[in-house]
Amino acid sequence: MENFRELHKRLDGWPLVAVVGVLLCVLAFYAHAAIKGLERDNVDTLADLERSRADKYVLLHELREKEGTINEFQGQLQDLGQTVGTLKKLANTDKELLQKYSKVYFLSENYIPTHTVEIDKEYVSPGATNYRFLADAAPFLERLLRDSRASGTGLLVASAFRSFGTQAALKSSYKVTYGSGANSFSADQGYSEHQLGTALDFTTDKLGPAFSTFDKESAYKWLQENAYKYGFILSYPKGNAYYTYEPWHWRFVGVALATKLHSDGDRFYDLDQREIDAYLVKLFD
């Protein structure tokens, strides 16, 4: 205020135009000073904002790194859980179930499947006495028998699980009837897939116990086209190195392995045992 009074005294008696001009210059000076001050404040504010943005970027980067570490850790835990689950499945799956037992591969006389169940008698050939099957594989067999029945094949089970002793008695009876020729179609005790509880002989309601011509039946053709979908394979096809062609003898090896064999046109006994063992964990999937 004092500055304006001093200025008023000095301008007293000046022409009006000169006075206005001086006032405008003074106002311009103060306006310029005010603008410069605002600009400095604005620069400081912008600097503060930049620092704040930089701090937020650093924080965001750190959060993303931590999030990545957490995700990686969760992935490792998931992988570990899957590994533990796989090991648990393997530990609870009988490794004998995918071994190759025929003539040169021996199964202990003390071996018996962990748990077998009776096959529904609706699907068992009249007069059959061995119609128990491995419990874990039974649902796959039930679906196969149900679906084949729906297609009108008349498929039945003639024989399934046979113990070491039962196989010995059966082989002896064959030798009485066929002599040494029995070796071409019947396994000695300890070499039969039937002891595993996952192999069976099929027949039809028309053939009954005389199923040597099973491959002439529509049921056989149906099995060739569909058995792999349920995890079953023909153990001894034409030209195999172990027994004569047995179109009635099928074995459960799991859907994954059966599908691989069907797709590739391979035979179970021609595969390396290590390759077969890789499917053990998927046996009942």
On whether both 82 and 120 belong to a single domain, the answer is no
CATH of residue 118's domain is 3.30.1380.10
Which token pair is 247?
């179109």
On whether both 170 and 233 belong to a single domain, the answer is yes
On whether both 15 and 80 belong to a single domain, the answer is yes
Range of the structural domain that residue 236 is part of: 94-282
Residue 183 confidence (pLDDT): 40
Q: How many domains does the chain have?
A: 2
On whether both 30 and 102 belong to a single domain, the answer is no
Residue type for position 241: A
On whether both 82 and 99 belong to a single domain, the answer is no
Three-state SS for 165? helix
Residue 268 confidence (pLDDT): 95
On whether both 214 and 244 belong to a single domain, the answer is yes
Single out the residue in 52, 69, 90 at which a domain terminates. Answer: 90
Which token pair is 180?
């040494």
Extract the residue ranges of the chain whose pLDDT is less than 50.
Answer: 77, 80, 171-190
Residue 105 confidence (pLDDT): 72
On whether both 154 and 238 belong to a single domain, the answer is yes
Q: Which helix or strand (DSSP H or E) is residue 263 part of?
A: helix 255-264
On whether both 180 and 64 belong to a single domain, the answer is no
Task: For 23-154, list the strands marked E by DSSP.
Answer: 116-118, 132-134
On whether both 111 and 129 belong to a single domain, the answer is yes
On whether both 211 and 75 belong to a single domain, the answer is no
On whether both 105 and 214 belong to a single domain, the answer is yes
On whether both 169 and 244 belong to a single domain, the answer is yes
Under 8 Å between Cβ of 163 and 221: no
Q: What is the CA radius of gyration of the chain?
A: 44
Residue-wise pLDDT for 65-105, tens only, equals 766 665 665 556 465 455 666 778 888 899 999 998 866 67
- End-to-end, the C-alpha distance of the chain in Å comes to 96
CA 32 to chain centre: 76
Residue type for position 259: T
Whether the model pTM is above 0.85: no
Residue-wise pLDDT for 98-136, tens only, equals 998 866 677 778 888 989 999 999 999 999 988 999 999
Give whole-number Cα distances, 245 to 43, 208, 249, in Å: 94, 19, 9
